[in-house]
């Protein structure tokens, strides 16, 4: 008993700091969401207002596409890269370092660079596609309603797949070599090794990384805000950007807070379901 | 059908040669043990047979087929690893059935063969468990089950018992032996433990620094070691060696102790030789050579004595219960039919 309370004393300073940094803003956001600008209690008015706004459902679906699309490709590309980098080939060290570049570049720099590359008239991408005749006319990547969100997702995938690759690679490198050898003696070819040894062995890493990607995806505004600010016509408006714009462009702090609370609740549910059903792997997990 | 022939096989890692031309003939159904000190190249040789390591020179032939350029999966072999190398994310049943699954054997047939193997090894209650929920001995059995299920031409074992405790090791020794008598599959088994080799093998291959020192049945190696290395490696406690020379039909140790030899040694008068005598080939003899006792270790059934004899530390094992004490003199003679003579320069056995 004595030991327990002593332990508590030791973690107390950290708990106090955590409480101030996390609990206070959460609590204050909750308070803002049920008051008006004068601080008077208004019940669920703010919630009704944000839920009634036309942008809200659109932002919700955009967020779903944004997070879902990003994660699928980040994980597939990241795992494939990791498997590749785990093979023995000359110059592997250099390739490993180069792979990390997108992850190291600051988001705002990457976003601005990509915005220029996708520019309709001056962008290198349209140039490279029109010059050899792949497409006839330049595409307005960032203004076309069918391309703008996929382009955002592509940039996000480019930015984060190295992170997945490095984490999975670390997992792959901890697989004992004799598992591969046993599999080879058992008759496995390379694809069998990937499917029956590598993937099951790095499954816990993939699960954990995916959870991180979900959270980052839900919170990330840098790339989209820097390039399109959610436009055109709200086509790339995701909920965190909607909150940001409500608060700092329209100065509707109370509605922004209400939307934050809803978003927070949905996020918690998503993360909870994820941990409950995916992160809790079957009996074999270590 | 499952014979293995190894012809002048060599292995280099870059410019470093670790196997210098090894030739072994293994008959179908034989249980052959590669034994030798750590680092002598046993695992490397086994892995070359398995196809996990490229062969730098020579030929390996399994069941009448040169396998030098075949993948492990095309060699029809099964291997039990020292670490067991069980797939941690698969149940015992899945571990054992994995090779059949890759070989596109039907589910029904797989189940039948896995069940049969589990029955032989007493693994039935554990089929649905994961490896981490098994004891060391059970894991070891699963690793063997994985090999049995495939019914291959050759079993390869790399020090399969070295991670088990002493008691379990002795038990598994006889189980593996019994399994071999039942399945009669050609087996190549690697160990550094000469007792394991002596008790299990039909034929022992003693390796040392990448070469074969001697091939023979356990008793051949014990009774007629071809050189001092084999003589010293096989048998426990190890053979005693006394350096000296031949003088008028007798052996004269470096300190002058004279041991008359009968039969006469096949060595030239005055030649430098090493006399080898196993601990159990000393006899208590009031007329014998004096040995100064250093320690006495009675085990009940026999007594092990370390002593100084002819200026050398020797170990003797006696069936009698000795009433002597450290520091006392013990008079012993040598069983002359069990004396081994080796050329001091080459270490080779001197044969009559
Ligand atoms: N990949 C490797 N590269 C270089 N040397 C190696 C390699 N693997 C093994 N060796 C060397 O080959 C020798 C034989 O090794 P090994 O076959 O594992 O010995 P054993 O199994 O008899 O203990 C050792 O000296 C070891 O250092
Ligand atoms: Mg070894």
Per-residue pLDDT tens over the stretch A52-74: 888 899 999 999 999 999 999 99
Residue A285: pLDDT over 50 = no
pLDDT in tens, A166-182: 999 999 999 999 999 99
What is the band of A282 on the pLDDT scale with cuts at 50, 70, 90? low
**Mean confidence (pLDDT) of chain A:** 88
Compare all CA atoms of chain A with the CA of B156 and give the residue at the minimum distance. A185
What is the band of A281 on the pLDDT scale with cuts at 50, 70, 90? low
pLDDT in tens, A142-152: 888 888 899 99
pLDDT in tens, A88-104: 889 888 998 999 999 99
Q: pLDDT value at position A233?
A: 85
Rounded Cα distance between A156 and B78, Å, is: 47
Task: Report the DSSP beta bridge partners of residue B349.
Answer: B342
A75 domain residue, yes or no: yes
Pairing relationship of beta strands B57-62 and B31-35 according to DSSP bridges? unpaired
Residue A195: pLDDT over 50 = yes
Q: Could you tell me the distance, in angstroms and rounded to a whole number, from the CA of residue A143 to the centre of ligand 2?
A: 65
Nearest to A182 among B51, B85, B133 (CB): B85
pLDDT in tens, A212-232: 999 899 888 889 999 988 878
Nearest residue to B127 (alpha-carbon basis) of B88, B94, B150: B94
A79 domain residue, yes or no: yes
Mean pLDDT calculated for residue range A269-276: 86
Mean pLDDT calculated for residue range A260-274: 90
> So what CATH class is B240-343?
mainly beta
Q: Which residues of chain B have pLDDT under 70?
A: 1, 352
- Domain hosting residue A127, numbered range: 54-279
Q: Does B146 touch chain A (CB under 8 A)?
A: yes
Alpha helices (runs of H) in chain B, residue ranges in sequence order: 42-50, 92-102, 107-121, 136-148, 166-183, 194-200, 218-223, 228-233
Tokens 């382009």 belong to A151
Q: Could you tell me the distance, in angstroms and rounded to a whole number, from the CA of residue B75 to the centre of ligand 2?
A: 21
Q: pLDDT value at position B10?
A: 96
CB B130 within 8 A of CB B142: no
Break chain B into its structural domains and give their ranges: 4-233, 240-343
Q: pLDDT value at position A276?
A: 82
How many CB atoms are closer than 10 A to CB A230? 23
CB contact under 8 A, A182 and B87: yes
pLDDT in tens, A29-59: 999 999 988 888 888 888 988 888 888 999 9
Pairing relationship of beta strands B250-253 and B312-318 according to DSSP bridges? unpaired
Residue A256 sits in a domain whose CATH number is 1.10.3720.10
Q: pLDDT value at position A2?
A: 55
CB contact under 8 A, A181 and B77: no
CB B97 within 8 A of CB A187: no
CB B196 within 8 A of CB B33: yes
A17 domain residue, yes or no: no
A102 domain residue, yes or no: yes
**CATH code reported for the domain at B4-233:** 3.40.50.300
Residue A280: pLDDT over 80 = no
pTM: 0.84
Q: Does B79 touch chain A (CB under 8 A)?
A: yes
Q: Which residues line ligand 1 (CB under 6 A)?
A: B 13, 18, 36, 38-44
Compare all CA atoms of chain B with the CA of A200 and give the residue at the minimum distance. B89
Compare all CA atoms of chain B with the CA of A182 and give the residue at the minimum distance. B85
Q: Could you tell me the distance, in angstroms and rounded to a whole number, from the CA of residue B159 to the centre of ligand 2?
A: 7
Nearest to A185 among B79, B83, B103 (CB): B79
What is the band of A286 on the pLDDT scale with cuts at 50, 70, 90? very low
3-class SS of residue B177: helix
**Contacts for A229 with CB less than 8 Å, ≥ 6 apart:** A241, A245
Q: What are phi and psi of B238, to 5 degrees?
A: -70, 160
Domains held by chain A: number: 1
∠ CA B280-B284-B289 to the nearest 5 degrees?
A: 100
């Amino acid at each position: 008993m004595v030991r327990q309370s002593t332990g508590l004393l030791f973690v107390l300073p950290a708990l106090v700091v955590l409480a101030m940094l996390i609990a206070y803003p959460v609590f204050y956001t909750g308070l803002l969401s049920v008051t008006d600008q004068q601080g008077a209690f208004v019940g669920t008015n703010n919630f009704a207002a944000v839920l009634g706004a036309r942008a809200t459902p659109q932002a919700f679906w955009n967020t779903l596409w944004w997070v879902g699309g990003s994660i699928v490709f980040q994980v597939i590309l990241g795992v494939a890269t990791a498997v590749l980098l785990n093979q023995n080939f000359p110059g592997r060290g250099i390739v490993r370092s180069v792979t990390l570049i997108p992850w190291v570049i600051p988001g705002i720099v990457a976003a601005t660079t990509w915005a220029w590359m996708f520019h309709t008239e001056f962008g290198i991408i349209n140039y490279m596609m029109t010059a050899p005749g792949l497409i006839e006319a330049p595409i307005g990547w960032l203004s076309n309603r069918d391309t703008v969100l996929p382009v955002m997702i592509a940039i996000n995938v480019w930015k984060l797949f190295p992170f997945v690759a490095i984490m999975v690679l670390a997992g792959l490198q901890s697989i004992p070599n004799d598992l591969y050898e046993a599999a080879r003696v058992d008759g496995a070819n390379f694809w069998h090794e990937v499917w029956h040894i590598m993937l099951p062995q790095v499954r816990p890493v993939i699960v954990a990384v995916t959870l991180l990607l979900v959270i980052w995806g839900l919170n990330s505004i840098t790339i989209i805000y820097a390039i399109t600010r959610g436009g055109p016509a709200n086509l790339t408006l995701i909920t965190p950007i909607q909150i940001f714009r409500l608060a700092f462009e329209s100065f509707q702090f109370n509605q922004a807070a209400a939307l934050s609370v809803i978003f927070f609740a949905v996020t918690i549910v998503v993360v909870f379901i994820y941990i409950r059903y995916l992160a809790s792997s079957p009996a074999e997990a270590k | 059908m499952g014979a293995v022939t190894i012809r002048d096989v060599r292995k280099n890692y870059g410019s470093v040669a670790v196997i210098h031309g090894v030739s072994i003939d293994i008959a179908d159904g034989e249980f052959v043990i590669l034994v030798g000190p750590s680092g002598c190249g046993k695992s490397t040789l086994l892995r070359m047979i398995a196809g996990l390591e490229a062969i730098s020179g020579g030929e390996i032939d399994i069941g009448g087929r040169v396998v030098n350029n075949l993948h492990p999966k095309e060699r029809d072999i099964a291997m039990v690893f020292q670490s067991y190398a069980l797939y941690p994310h698969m149940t015992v049943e899945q571990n054992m059935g994995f090779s059949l699954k890759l070989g596109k054997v039907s589910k029904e047939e797989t189940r039948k063969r896995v069940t049969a193997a589990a029955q032989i090894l007493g693994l039935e209650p554990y089929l649905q468990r994961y490896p981490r929920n098994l004891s060391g001995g059970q894991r070891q059995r699963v690793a063997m089950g994985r090999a049995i299920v495939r019914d291959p031409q050759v079993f390869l074992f790399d020090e399969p018992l070295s991670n088990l405790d002493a008691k379990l090791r002795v038990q598994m020794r006889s189980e593996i032996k019994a399994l071999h008598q039942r399945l009669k599959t050609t087996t190549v088994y690697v160990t550094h433990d000469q007792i394991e080799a002596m008790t299990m093998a039909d034929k022992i291959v003693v390796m040392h620094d990448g070469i074969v020192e001697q091939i023979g049945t356990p008793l051949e190696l014990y009774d007629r070691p071809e050189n001092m290395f084999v003589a010293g490696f096989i048998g426990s406690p190890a053979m005693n060696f006394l350096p000296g020379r031949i003088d008028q039909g007798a052996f004269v140790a470096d300190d002058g102790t004279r041991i008359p030899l009968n039969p006469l040694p096949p060595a030239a008068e005055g030649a430098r030789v090493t006399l080898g005598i196993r601990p159990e080939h000393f006899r208590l003899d009031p007329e014998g050579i004096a040995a100064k006792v250093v320690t006495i270790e009675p085990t009940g059934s026999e007594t092990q004595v370390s002593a100084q004899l002819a200026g050398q530390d020797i170990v003797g094992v006696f069936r009698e219960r000795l009433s002597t004490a450290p520091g006392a003199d013990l008079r012993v003679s040598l069983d002359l039919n069990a004396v081994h003579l080796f050329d001091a320069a080459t270490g080779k056995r001197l044969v009559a």
